[in-house]
Amino acid sequence: MQHFSTYFGRAAALFIIIIFGNWIIAAQDTVSGNWTAKVKDAASGKINLSFERKGERGGKYQNGSTYDISELNGLNSGALQNGSVNFSLVREAGTIQCEGTFTDGKGSGTYRFAPSYAFADGLRARGFDLDSDGNSKRESSLEEKLFMAAMLNVTTALADDLAAANFGKLGLDDLFKAAIFKIDGKFMAEMKATGFPNLSMDDLVKARIFKIDAEFVRGIKDMGFGADNFEHLVKYSIFKVTPEYLNSLRNEGLTNLDPEEVVKLRIFKVDAEFVRKARTENPNISVGDIVNKKIGVWVN
């Protein structure tokens, strides 16, 4: 009877594995690997922490960020100089548990990620399906996505905040980008209010990267010069074209410039004084000739 019971138990287990095999494999997927760290600035309490892992398809992935030491539960300043450590990064998406050693502010060791499937359910209820949504070029298991969400501190509160901004349908990648580049509903609303109601998440990412905010947009728009096009604003920011610079050009009589001309003047460091001298010699001088004069090319 005991033999039959043992056999039946094994058969039942095999049946469960066959029927629910895909689910079991997914549930048992673990994200783990090695971590390295370096104290960035002991005075400010910052630390650079990187996680390396093997992907599902055999590749290696490394992701790092700067954290407040206070975010890492169990890590104290004494251990950062010399000692064994056991600490964790606790996020809504799950907990990254780390162990290892530190020597003179540099550390290394291993980590293991415990995902929160309740968080995945919470995002799914908000229209972000971690099982199918996201960039297909990236590792696509649910656990991988939860790990990235934990690293980036993606939260359901962020998802709710973005939804409240009425920005339109957002995908999982958009949510991750918002977390990386600190894009929230307030920033979205402010950028919309400047006269750009149809910006995409990628546009907002550009805005964050190139430090374009509502104040910058309004200042540029007050000057004109093609500020009705967002890509022009991106170029202005890249080449440090400020409202003050545009105003100085207008004051010297350059009131009908296109964005390319503005950028060209800025690239070659043409300031208001140089424009004034050039226009004194030739009131009808073109922007191209002003630039040529600046770089020492002969002008008729």
Are 72 and 150 in contact by the 8 Å Cβ rule? The answer is no
Phi and psi at residue 108, to the nearest 5°: -160, 160
For 285, the token pair is: 């001088």
Q: Which segment of 90-94, 138-142, 190-194, 242-246 scores lowest on mean pLDDT?
A: 138-142
**Mean of the per-residue pLDDT values for the chain?**
85
Are 204 and 181 in contact by the 8 Å Cβ rule? The answer is yes
Token look-up 């972000």 returns 128
What's the CA angle centered on 191, arms 185 and 192, to 5 degrees?
85
User: Model-level pTM?
Assistant: 0.79
Rounded Cα gap, residues 107 and 83, in angstroms:
9
How many other CB atoms sit within 10 Å of the CB of residue 91?
21
pLDDT at 54 over 90: no
Q: What is the mean pLDDT of residues 71-93?
A: 91
Q: Using 50, 70 and 90 to split pLDDT, how confident is the model at 123?
A: very high
Q: What is the mean pLDDT of residues 74-82?
A: 84
How many other CB atoms sit within 10 Å of the CB of residue 49?
25
pLDDT reported for residue 28: 45
Phi and psi at residue 229, to the nearest 5°: -115, 125
Rounded Cα gap, residues 84 and 148, in angstroms:
26
pLDDT at 151 over 70: yes
Report the share of the chain in percent with pLDDT over 70.
85
Token look-up 């209010």 returns 193
pLDDT reported for residue 40: 82
Q: What is the mean pLDDT of residues 119-134?
A: 88
Q: Which segment of 193-197, 241-245, 291-295 scores lowest on mean pLDDT?
A: 193-197
